[in-house]
Structure 1
């Protein structure tokens, strides 16, 4: 074996050794001992760069404000409110003179300091006054309530966990969530009365509800209209009450529009659909739209307000 390869490798080996000798490692300063003469100066320098203790750290206060305006809230303020004012305004109510205050008869000394007996009006609901719709009292949504009844919770309280988790995902509501003091989060409703046929006792948790207000209310309506309703099979719309329904019934005098959905509708919400396996069971739910309307034609005006958010209705 010739020595040519060894002679060719020698220069490279010498170069690598030279490179290693040329590398200068940075000097690491170590704290001097207390016996050295320069200890006072080094101790003062070390004290100046000592780290701040964890107890003295102060974090800046971060406040996350609204990043954007809800599209449905903007639609109500710019378009729907003026349309409802045009559709429901009554000139007769606005031009009707105010009724004079009734003159009550003078009370005898026996009746002066005694409570009056209630006036019996039969079994019919008290007919409230018609709300005068003006520019200051345009029909508007006050809140949206989502409610579900879990019958399995009668025998097992943990059956409510899936409903609570689903409602938190859909609504995004937690106690005082988002800095809003009026937010109560998801509430657990207990039974008020006992029912021996269903093995139900008073005080047992049986249902879950959440009330949405403000921007969270409009965000829920947008998710319901854009993602849930178009994907329901054979969905004609919300059924209207029959024409034979009396106009002075309690349901007609309150401006509340309610309807229900099955468990399939809950799976169509984007918050649930992205992780359906995290919820052991999906439940049907009811939605209540509460408005500021009371009195005659309150239910009809409330339906007109709800239909302005692209929620369809149909006659049975």
Structure 2
């Protein structure tokens, strides 16, 4: 055994390749300082190692070099005359979701084979990390409402108006909407660990009525919005003619885009920490903003757009007289404006005036 260890690597490979199988089975290649040390270790009886197998995969002989060099699986696959059809024997995720009880389910979006797979995320925005580590738990603590066990649940009021059955045509008719409004607002739900408000998306819109006569205004607005959001904005047209705004029907009126996920958090981070502090004599976002469904908005003047770092670094590229303002719409998962304002105030957005729910 000692003489085998002292030989070169190529010689050991050749001897092991031509070693008889009956003699190769008890051989165990272990590197020891000497033959005596190896024999001493083998003869020792250790109770803790009694359950271990004595054979090792290292004792199996290696295949000959000629077999390794001639092994080319790609060549064998190319020489096959009959091939299996790929569409029948390969897995393809289903096109449609047929419910949770269907035997064939779509893989989760995190799997690379899923149809809705999106690689990433490749970064973690600072504002989102702050929300997950601090703000989410603080909102849950601030809005906690203790209810003793056994407290009866309050009944929900009727939101849709019924009919008085004064006419036979009222029978089996659908209920009417609330009086004075055709839009049915969301019902505010208590904040629990299942529905903590968070940022869902941010929509930005630029109104440039001058683009109806000069298309260069549209190019400048689109370039600015593309630099700020990193997306390709959509060109909008006026649905109605408004003489006070200089808008004509079916004419180019501006650009718009919507960003989701990490891009939305990064945009809000830039607004809160880079843009808002530079605006002089700015009170903040008006407290009456909101659509009663957890979505808030504010506006930025044309001179405020230069405070974004993406535009400030290439300010000479945008004509100052052609730079438009911007309207920012923040979409949240909150069920009321009160919860949405509580979320944005925790993120750092200042509000002034009366805070309406």
Residues in 1 aligned to 2:329 and 2:174: alpha-carbon distance in whole angstroms: 36
Residues in 1 aligned to 2:303 and 2:139: alpha-carbon distance in whole angstroms: 33
Alpha carbons of structure 1 residues 197 and 140: separation in structure 2 relative to 1, 3 Å:
closer
Offset at residue 213 of structure 1 (A): 0.8
Asked if structure 1 preserves the Cα contact closer than 8 Å seen for 2:209 and 2:252, the reply is no
Name 2:266's counterpart in structure 1: 219
Partner deviation per Cα, 1:102-148 (whole Å, 9 max, x = no partner): 9x9xxxxx98xx97255264314645422232111111111111111
Alpha carbons of structure 1 residues 121 and 152: separation in structure 2 relative to 1, 3 Å:
same
Asked if structure 2 preserves the Cα contact closer than 8 Å seen for 1:88 and 1:301, the reply is no
Task: Classify the secondary structure of the residue corresponding to 1:97.
Answer: coil
Offset at residue 200 of structure 1 (A): 4.0
Alpha carbons of structure 1 residues 165 and 118: separation in structure 2 relative to 1, 3 Å:
same
Offset at residue 163 of structure 1 (A): 0.6
Task: Classify the secondary structure of the residue corresponding to 1:254.
Answer: coil
Offset at residue 156 of structure 1 (A): 2.5
Asked if structure 2 preserves the Cα contact closer than 8 Å seen for 1:147 and 1:285, the reply is yes
Asked if structure 2 preserves the Cα contact closer than 8 Å seen for 1:255 and 1:290, the reply is yes
Name 1:302's counterpart in structure 2: 340
Asked if structure 1 preserves the Cα contact closer than 8 Å seen for 2:185 and 2:293, the reply is no
Name 2:334's counterpart in structure 1: 293
Does residue 146 (structure 1) correspond to residue 184 (structure 2)? The answer is no
Residues in 1 aligned to 2:331 and 2:313: alpha-carbon distance in whole angstroms: 30
Alpha carbons of structure 1 residues 127 and 288: separation in structure 2 relative to 1, 3 Å:
closer
| TM-score for the superposition, normalised by structure 1 | 0.62
Name 1:202's counterpart in structure 2: 249
Alpha carbons of structure 1 residues 283 and 234: separation in structure 2 relative to 1, 3 Å:
same
Q: Alignment length, in residue pairs?
A: 227
| TM-score for the superposition, normalised by structure 2 | 0.56
Task: Classify the secondary structure of the residue corresponding to 1:69.
Answer: coil
Asked if structure 2 preserves the Cα contact closer than 8 Å seen for 1:154 and 1:199, the reply is no
* Structure 2 residues not aligned, in runs of 5+: 1-117, 163-167
Offset at residue 165 of structure 1 (A): 0.2
Does residue 97 (structure 1) correspond to residue 97 (structure 2)? The answer is no
Which of these residues, 272, 278, 281, is aligned with residue 234 of structure 1? 281
Does residue 116 (structure 1) correspond to residue 173 (structure 2)? The answer is yes
Within a 5 Å distance, the mapping from 1:167-178 to structure 2 comes to 167-174=225-232
Residues in 2 aligned to 1:272 and 1:259: alpha-carbon distance in whole angstroms: 20
Offset at residue 194 of structure 1 (A): 3.1
Residues in 2 aligned to 1:159 and 1:64: alpha-carbon distance in whole angstroms: 36
Which of these residues, 281, 288, 294, is aligned with residue 255 of structure 1? 294
Aligned-residue Cα RMSD (Å) equals 3.4
Asked if structure 1 preserves the Cα contact closer than 8 Å seen for 2:186 and 2:293, the reply is no
Residues in 2 aligned to 1:288 and 1:99: alpha-carbon distance in whole angstroms: 34
Partner deviation per Cα, 1:19-55 (whole Å, 9 max, x = no partner): xxxxxxxxxxxxxxxxxxxxxxxxxxxxxxxxxxxxx
Task: Classify the secondary structure of the residue corresponding to 1:311.
Answer: coil
Alpha carbons of structure 1 residues 228 and 128: separation in structure 2 relative to 1, 3 Å:
closer
Task: Classify the secondary structure of the residue corresponding to 1:253.
Answer: coil
Residues in 1 aligned to 2:350 and 2:305: alpha-carbon distance in whole angstroms: 18
* Structure 1 residues not aligned, in runs of 5+: 1-62, 105-109, 175-185, 243-250
Which of these residues, 307, 312, 315, is aligned with residue 350 of structure 2? 312
